[in-house]
Structure 1
Amino acid sequence: MKPSKSLFHEFKESLASLVSNQSSSLSQSRPIQLPLPTNQTSTAHTRATFMAFADAVIPSTNGALDLRLDDYLIWGLDHYISIQGQWGMNHIQLSAVTAEVLDAGATQLSLSQKVKEMPNPSIFPEGGPFSSLSVNDRFEAIYLLEQGEVDMESLPPPFQGNLGLVENILGNLHQMILLGYYSEWFSLGTTRLSPPENRRIERPFVTWDLVHYPGPAYGYRDLRGFLVKNFSE
């Protein structure tokens, strides 16, 4: 069975529309040292960063990492967003630079001496400052970004000096996690990163079963308008 219009595609449409329009007792006398920003956009670093983000939003058994929603976030950012530039709408890959933005928030959190728990780089060893933070501190880093409490001019393009875009993308990342969690993404199995026309259902619908959603149904009546006897301009 291949759904006619999935939650994944509904996310694509809504996101494109939105973009276009140690412990808490640690000493505060010195900042906790986080791993230095990588200053690179490797696939491993990007994936580790979004694994950390996904695990913070929906942790534990059948959580976001179990359902590979880090892949979902990266795919969505890289394939379904266009940015208005000087020469019109440009399609760009946003996952790597968004990972850098999250690292910038984590770095600012450290510089502000607001890190409450000892960072642990071993959890996501290929990541940077953001992925080494505790779950609560990751959300604090995101809050600093959304409040513009970082040097906006130091962010990579297209986020540089653009607080509105930072707020938009970070806000939508939370929506993407929920949409991906209840979509057919995990059930696409090995084909989830393929072009849409080549995807196939390979696994049970884990989250659909959790909420007893029976899946798409075909043949139901749909309102397509109203009958008009007399039509005039």
Structure 2
Amino acid sequence: MYDTGTQQPLTDSHTAATFRALVEAIVPRTPELSVYGAEQTAGAAEFNVHEYLIWEMDHTLSLLFGLNPTVIPLAPATARMLDNAALQFAAAGGTKPPYLYSASGETPFAALSPGDRIRVLSMLERLEVDLGALPDPYRNNGGYVKFIIDYLNRSTMFGFYSEWSGYGSTRLAPPDWRRLEHFPLGWLQVGYPGVSRGYRDLRGFVLRIDRKEGGTPDVQH
């Protein structure tokens, strides 16, 4: 359900922290040079794209059980998969020992550097992990692991450059309830002027059709 009173994401803090670390690594906050010197350009975490991923994975993705597709919340399981892969990455000597994560107070995936988070995604995509150690529904299912890693990459970019950041306080509402409260920041970054009914559009091509009765009139399709 969606809490219209609090406008809060309905997920646990562990899942939120892991997904925020994920989008932060894929689209980081970067310095941008301008006439005033270096400025910070917002990344996916500043646009709350992790909330977009969590909402979509908990409401629109579905697994097929029997003959009926059943929508189940996938964000918590996916966060656990990322954390498990991060621990496997660390155990293989990729970074600091796993026992240091609990001392840092972070989730295993979030405790990695952004570069190492990308390496973990690559490791999952290549199935260079112990699939039997992953949580359901990813356990021993390499095809689903590869699908979800591709989905996470694509959906992070989609959330960043879509109108998501403009929904403001309504972003976690069902789609029919969302309203643009300000111009989306991703559109500003790419110079997209926004929705308009006045854009010029291709209406077809002028074709010359030879008719049996003679003549070649121009016909526009």
The bucket for the TM-score relative to the shorter chain is: 0.7 to 0.9
Unaligned runs of 5+ in 2: 1-10, 30-40, 205-221
Scaled by the length of structure 2, the TM-score of the pair is 0.74
Are 2:162 and 1:183 equivalent residues in the alignment?
Answer: yes
**Could you say which residue in structure 2 is the equivalent of 1:23?**
none
**Could you say which residue in structure 1 is the equivalent of 2:195?**
216
**Could you say which residue in structure 1 is the equivalent of 2:16?**
47
**Distance of aligned partners of 1:165 and 1:99 in 2 relative to their CA distance in 1, 3 Å threshold:** same
CA distance in 1 between counterparts of 2:50 and 2:67 reads 31
For the 8 Å contact 2:19–2:79, the answer to whether it is kept is yes
The count of aligned residue pairs is: 181
Percent identity over paired residues: 38
1:140 aligned residue (119, 132, 153): 119
**Distance of aligned partners of 1:118 and 1:95 in 2 relative to their CA distance in 1, 3 Å threshold:** closer
Task: Give the stretch that moved more between structures: 54-63 or 84-93.
Answer: 84-93
**Distance of aligned partners of 1:114 and 1:77 in 2 relative to their CA distance in 1, 3 Å threshold:** same
**Could you say which residue in structure 1 is the equivalent of 2:55?**
75
CA distance in 1 between counterparts of 2:203 and 2:100 reads 54
1:57 aligned residue (14, 26, 37): 26
Q: SS at the partner of 1:84?
A: strand
2:85 aligned residue (89, 98, 105): 105
**Could you say which residue in structure 2 is the equivalent of 1:85?**
65
For the 8 Å contact 1:46–1:96, the answer to whether it is kept is yes
For the 8 Å contact 1:120–1:134, the answer to whether it is kept is no
Please identify runs of 4+ aligned residues in structure 1 that moved more than 3 A: 116-122, 219-224
Residue 59 of structure 1 aligns with an amino acid whose one-letter code is P
Q: Which is bigger in relative contact order (C-alpha 8 A, separation at least 6)?
A: 1
1:158 aligned residue (126, 137, 140): 137
Shift of 1:178: 1.0
For the 8 Å contact 1:73–1:173, the answer to whether it is kept is yes
For the 8 Å contact 2:81–2:135, the answer to whether it is kept is yes
Shift of 1:144: 1.9
Shift of 1:173: 0.8
Shift of 1:117: 10
2:128 aligned residue (146, 149, 158): 149
Higher strand proportion, which one? 2
Q: SS at the partner of 1:207?
A: helix
Residue 151 of structure 2 aligns with an amino acid whose one-letter code is N
CA distance in 2 between counterparts of 1:165 and 1:209 reads 35
Larger of the two Rg values belongs to structure: 2
Task: Give the stretch that moved more between structures: 170-179 or 140-149.
Answer: 140-149
Unaligned runs of 5+ in 1: 1-41, 225-233
CA distance in 1 between counterparts of 2:14 and 2:139 reads 20
Q: CA RMSD, aligned part only?
A: 2.5
Deviation per CA, 1:197-221, whole angstroms, max 9, x where unpaired?
1111112222212222121222667
Deviation per CA, 1:149-199, whole angstroms, max 9, x where unpaired?
222122222111111111111111111111111111011000000011111
